Amino acid sequence: MASVYVHIPFCRQICYYCDYHARASLKNKDAMLAAMKKEFSSLKFKVQSLKFKVQSLKFIENLKPETSNLKPETLNFKPETSNLKPETLYFGGGTPSVLSIDELKGLLDAIIQHYEVSSDTEITIEANPEDLTDDYLAGLRQLGFNRLSIGVQSFFDDDLLWMNRRHSAAEARKSVENAKKYGFHNINVDLIYGLPTMTAERWKTNLYQALDLDVPHLSAYHLIIETRSVFGKRQEKGKSFAISEDDSAEQFFTLLDMTEKAGYEHYEISNFARPGFHSRHNTACWQGLPYIGIGPSAHSYDGQSRRWNISNNSEYIIALEQDLQWFDSERLTTDDKYNEYVLMSLRAAWGADINHIRVHFGSEYANEFLRQAAVYMQNGYIQQRGDIFTITRKGKMIADRIASDLFC
């Protein structure tokens, strides 16, 4: 099993906070789709998959990884011989909903030629609210999409204008309501907090609006000023986007309190789901399972090495058209794999399993983890339950800092 990620590198308008690979011009769209279809047919990728899975995500305190059967297995990703059955398909970007239904169908047809997609496959598309018209939603359902991730970001029009979003708050609400009418029951809504103009009350109102829509999944991200984004360039010129640590903490803990009260599981630092509605695609990636990335800037991982596609639309298209190499790669060291495991597992509700570290990385890594974790346990940032180490409520505010201190 593996996950497949399809990167659509187009947007109609670039958000000021975004540094993902995307272009606002659609002039090369046809050539890009042809190149992506060719990448599917050219893909020959072997995966070393570790059977490391998580039990039922009913309650955070009951989350515990299974450490039995931790034996590597090899999957041959060569399409004509592997008959690979992807667990998930995820269309991200950019803005995948800039593609027409016919264009999405063309990509799905290319996938089906090389992979066995079943009715149980989670098929997600990221979409902007303004794109989710009645016809578009009906078309997505007909194509087999069964999960929507809607980029709402805020339910305040002035916030949306400040971020350079194209939709309005009214369109955001309507898109979710219409999606339900067309049979989408697995819906995620993205929100952003930590904006310089966002008060505690405004953030609560945003959350109330999202919870009132009764979606089964929420992703909430603190605003980060990326150097390549519009905001990053403005910050270089002296504009400040920082809010106080106290304000950040207040908004984060408000998020935890309100989602918990509404019945959501906080299963990853930025992700909240009702039971049974965690993102299978993202969960697989956080667990270190293999995935294939298609499209410019997309990454792939086979358990031993990582590869990444050209992050330039024109160069990617030319490389595929002329049968040139369109990606670069690296083989991960033991330290690399250990650090990724620590980072991903500590950000997630299932935590880091000391037995998994000992089996896959050795006693030296396990002993070093225990030594470093002890410091944060004394300060109440990490807790231990049997063999599992998880970050506490107050530790979640500095999760990445904790993980980096535990790196080799």
pLDDT tens, position by position, 364-400: 999 999 999 999 999 999 999 999 999 999 999 999 9
How much is the average pLDDT of 330-339?
Answer: 97
**Structure tokens belonging to residue 265:** 């599981």
Q: Any residues with CB less than 8 A from the CB of 28 and at least 6 apart, and which? A: 313, 314, 317
**213 and 339 together in one domain:** no
Q: How confident is the model at residue 83 (pLDDT cuts 50, 70, 90)?
A: low
> Is 140 inside a domain boundary?
yes
Report the pLDDT averaged over residues 181-204: 96
Q: Tokens in use for 47? A: 């995966």
Sheet with 388-391, edge to edge strand ranges: 352-353, 388-391, 382-385
Range with lowest mean pLDDT among 79-88, 137-146, 210-219: 79-88
| pLDDT tens digits, one per residue of 345-370 | 999 999 999 999 999 999 999 999 99
Residue 41 reports pLDDT greater than 90:
no
Calpha distance 23→268 (Å, rounded): 29
What average pLDDT score do residues 185-208 get? 96
Which of 224, 250, 285 is the last residue in one of the domains?
A: 285
Q: Which pLDDT band holds residue 333 (cuts at 50, 70, 90)? A: very high
| Helix orientation angle between 29-42 and 313-321, rounded to the nearest 10 degrees | 50
Residues 278 and 355 in one domain: no
Average pLDDT of every residue of the chain: 90
- 79 plus 198 within the same structural domain: yes
Helix (H, G, I), strand (E, B) or coil at 215: coil
Report the CATH number that the domain containing residue 395 is assigned in CATH. 1.10.10.920
How far is residue 324's CA from residue 253's CA, in Å, rounded to a whole number?
A: 49
- Asked if 267 and 359 sit in the same domain, the reply is no
Task: Annotate 224-248 with DSSP letters as a single string.
Answer: ---TTSHHHHHHHTT------HHHH
This model's pTM is above 0.85? yes
Q: What is the pLDDT of residue 351?
A: 98
Separation of alpha carbons 71 and 235, rounded Å: 48
Both tokens assigned to 259: 């989602």
Looking at residue 50, what is its pLDDT? Answer: 35
Radius of gyration for the alpha carbons in the chain, expressed in angstroms and rounded: 21
Out of 33-47, 161-175, 330-344, 376-390, which region has the weakest mean confidence (pLDDT)?
33-47
Whether residues 85 and 156 share a domain: the answer is: yes
Residues in the chain: 408
Q: Is the residue at 290 inside a domain?
A: no
Residue 324 lies inside a defined structural domain of this protein:
no
Question: What per-residue confidence (pLDDT) applies to 62?
Answer: 37
Rounded to 10 degrees, the C-alpha dihedral 202/207/209/214 comes to 180
pLDDT at 1: 56
Residue of 164, 139, 137 whose CA lies nearest to 150: 137
Residue type present at position 29: K
Distance CA 94, CA 273 (A): 24
- Asked whether residue 103 falls in the same domain as residue 226, the answer is yes
- Token pair, residue 206, equals 């945003």
304 within some domain: no
Q: What is the pLDDT of residue 48?
A: 41
Residue 315 placed within a domain: no
> Where in the sequence is the domain holding 349, given as residue range(s)?
333-408
The amino acid at residue 85 is: K
Angle, CA of 190, 396 and 245, to the nearest 5°: 85
Between CA 283 and CA 26 the distance in angstroms is 32
- pLDDT (tens digit, 9 = 90+) per residue, 225-277? 999 999 999 999 999 898 999 999 999 999 999 999 999 999 999 999 999 99
**Count of structural domains, the chain:** 2
Tell whether 121 and 184 lie within a shared domain.
Answer: yes
The model's pLDDT over 45-72, given as tens digits with 9 standing for 90+, comes to: 444 433 333 333 333 333 333 333 323 2
One domain, residues 193 and 56: yes
CATH number at residue 74: 3.80.30.20
| Spatial CA neighbour of 388 closest among 362, 358, 355 | 355
What pLDDT shows up at residue 367? Answer: 97
Residue 89: pLDDT band (50, 70, 90) is: very high
Indicate the range of 50-59, 134-143, 189-198, 342-351 predicted with least confidence. 50-59
pLDDT confidence of 289, banded at 50, 70, 90?
Answer: very high
Write the DSSP string, 106-172. HHHHHHHHHS---TTSEEEEEE-GGG--HHHHHHHHHHT--EEEEEEE-S-HHHHHHHT-SS-HHHH
Is residue 162, in this structure, part of any structural domain at all? yes
- Predicted confidence band at 134 (pLDDT cuts at 50, 70, 90)? very high
Position 102 scores a pLDDT of: 98
345 and 272 in a common domain: no
- C-alpha pair distances (Å), 140 with each of 92, 100, 147: 15, 10, 10
Q: What pLDDT is stored for residue 78 in this prediction? A: 40
Domain-located, residue 307:
no
Residues 337 and 235 in one domain: no
Alpha carbon 391 to chain centroid distance? 20
User: Contact at 8 Å (CB) between 313 and 296?
Assistant: yes
* Stretch 152-165: mean pLDDT: 96
The reply to whether 133 and 216 lie within a common domain is yes
For residue 265, the cross-strand partners are 273
Last residue of some domain: 267, 285, 303?
285
In this structure, the answer to whether residues 374 and 260 fall within a common structural domain is no
Residue 23: predicted pLDDT: 85
In a domain, 294, yes or no: no
Last residue of a domain, one of 285, 307, 323: 285
How confident is the model over 184-189, as a mean pLDDT? Answer: 98
Average pLDDT (69-95) is: 61
Per-residue pLDDT, 197: 86
